[in-house]
Chains A and B, each alone.
Chain A
Amino acid sequence: MSAGSELDVAYVARLARLRLSAEETELFQKQLGDILRYAQQVQQVDLSSVEEKVEAIEFAELREDKSATGLGAEAALANAPRQSRNLFIVPKVME
């Protein structure tokens, strides 16, 4: 694979719900291209001795599944940009 050249910053930014200016797109294209070229070294590593693992971390045993008191609506809504009657209010997005 040609290093980092397949990265289309404008496209990936849209996937990530980020809108970049033309200058940002150009700058990130170069900077992330450099980083991906550097990261190509992972392609050279011999992985024949490594078995696939599902997760990086061995999980501790999970806690018992029983109900407990949570934050409560008032605290959970305290930082909402807009709220009303225990609900988050968002701009109308459906026609």
Chain B
Amino acid sequence: MSDLTAFGVAALREKLRAGEVSAPEILHAIEAKIEKFDPEIGAYLSRDFSAALKEAEKADLALPLGGIPVAIKDLISVAGQPCTAGSKILRGYRAPYDATVIARLRAAGAIPFGKTNLDEFAMGSSGENSSVRPTRNPWSPERVPGGSSSGSAAAVASGMAIAALGSDTGGSIRQPAAMCGVVGLKPSYGRVSRYGLIAFSSSLDQVGPLTRSVRDAALFLGAIAGPDPRDSTSSKNPVADYAADLGREIKGMRLGLVKEYLADGIDPAVRTSVSNAVTQFRSLGAEIVEVSLPHTKEAISVYYLLATAEASANLARFDGVRYGWRAEKATDVTDFYERTRSEGFGAEVKRRIILGTYVLSAGYYEAYYRRAQKVRQLIARDFTQAFAQVDALISPTTPTPAFKLGERIADPLQMYLADVFTIAANLAGICAISVPCGFAVEGESELPIGLQIIAPAFAEARLLQVANAYEQSTEWHKKRPRLSR
């Protein structure tokens, strides 16, 4: 039989319904891939195939994702399974309930089977901040897969998953998707419930799919989107039939090329690929206009001031009392908290908690936090003005292809700059997607390049339509890494 892990969701659905394959066969194929390749790649932190097989045996194939296995970033609660956030502080913790996205995936027939590696508490752009081990890029194992949804992207790229859920606070779905050559969708803020997602930055976090095609992303978004009484920031905005609208042509659409996103510091191969994508869009009948987002250069600063402030509050709950790591032999209550948190959190998490505590502290709140909130409004306004002229924006997803492990770990500011094109969409609460658009050749390796498409809040149907039109007129998404062994 052909390699079942090579197919996407839509193709496997057809095979399942035609009776050509069974849901347990798909799971077995994934399990075999993981056993063979994950020792090197490090995409998974835990998996439970015996529970998943029971689900697969009684899968209802009539459901929209019936029988489709899905990997889950280990920041999202799956009842009874570990949920570590990639942190020592949650080692041994098991989620007591399903996140809303998991309950919805189950209701749609999908089968969660494993938890994927990540930067600790989703804080990182390379996967190297996992407290367990770094994930390696399937296209070039000495390189990072991007982050923080590092394991989800690497698993989908390498056939160790058909599709995965990730979370995106400043690019954590789109950036690893770009570096691993898969599709990554960050929905608009409020489109998908955050209930059961371990909070990093509550005004920015959003759950979304990583898949092999735009159609698969549309299928997954349709399953997880919609209001949730358990998340007061989830939106009642109607959920479209995203997959049904995909095929419409984009002739006559106006697409904006963001001037500031093609400035200095972009890798030549990335620039060429995006320029070729522009040509491709023109041939599909879209009109390309240059637009400006004047507050682009402040976006990273605003992000690291606000996201760390929110993180410092969200991570205060890890105190050793109710769950997670607890230090022994504390002398008093302060000592108890300090030992627990210092032993449990890794360096990047500590750094961000300290920065966030500082920008919220008396005397600095006005100069940093409050100003950053206001600049955030200007960043959102830039997008509103751009979308008055165009239907969607296009840009590189990342300034460079995947970099080498260890290359940026000593300089957090350099690491933060990997998110320069993805952060603004989170600050503005709008939706964005990364789709494969080319490769950079580095020695013997081919490194994927991602094209980012950005659309207004709750315009996911349009976003996916534009992405699908591009993807289906190119061959980039069909290429898979050649894994050794």
Contacts and interface: CB of A to CB of B under 8 A. Distances in A.
Interface of A: 1, 6-7, 9, 12-20, 24, 28, 31-32, 34-36, 38-43, 45, 47, 49-50, 52-53, 55-57, 59-63, 71, 75-76, 78-82, 88, 90-91, 93
Interface string B308-345: 00001000100111111110001011101111011001
19 contacts: A18-B354, A19-B338, A19-B341, A28-B350, A32-B354, A38-B301, A39-B368, A39-B372, A41-B301, A42-B371, A45-B295, A45-B371, A56-B373, A59-B233, A60-B234, A60-B236, A78-B96, A81-B324, A88-B322
B374 A57 contact: no
A93 B340 CA distance: 15
Specify the main secondary structure of chain B where it touches its partner: helix
B367 interface: yes
A57 B94 CA distance: 31
Given A76-B96, A79-B93, A90-B321, A45 B375 contact: yes
B285 interface: no
A6 B367 CA distance: 12
Contacts of B316: 17
Interface of B: 92-94, 96-97, 189-190, 203, 227, 229, 232-236, 295, 297-298, 300-302, 304-306, 312, 316, 319-326, 330, 332-334, 336-339, 341-342, 345, 347, 350-351, 353-355, 357-358, 361, 364, 367-368, 371-378, 411-413, 416, 429
Specify the main secondary structure of chain A where it touches its partner: loop
Given A28-B351, A93-B336, A35 B93 contact: no
A51 to B, nearest CB: 8
A21 B377 CA distance: 38
A45 B411 CA distance: 26
A24 B190 CA distance: 37
Nearest to B379: A45
A57 B233 contact: yes
Contacts of B345: 18
B338 A56 contact: no
Nearest to A25: B354
B350 A20 contact: yes
Nearest to B357: A16
Contacts, number: 156
B190 to A, nearest CB: 7
Nearest to A13: B354
B330 A91 contact: yes
Nearest to B343: A19
A59 B332 CA distance: 40
A20 B377 contact: no
B413 A38 contact: yes
B341 A78 contact: no
A47 to B, nearest CB: 5
Contacts of A34: 412-413
Which of A9, A13, A82: most chain B Cβ within 10 A?
A13
Which of A28, A42, A56, A57: most chain B Cβ within 10 A?
A42
A57 B203 CA distance: 7
A15 B361 contact: yes
A55 B229 CA distance: 20
Contact of B375 (A47, A90, A93): A47
Contacts of B305: 39, 42
Given A16-B357, A57-B429, A79 B350 contact: no
Contacts of B358: 7, 12, 32, 36
Contacts of A42: 298, 301-302, 305, 368, 371-372, 375
Contacts of B334: 17
Given A18-B341, A35-B355, A79-B322, A56 B301 contact: no
Contacts of A90: 321, 336
A60 B297 contact: no
A81 B233 contact: no
A60 B353 contact: no
A9 B357 CA distance: 10
A32 B351 CA distance: 7
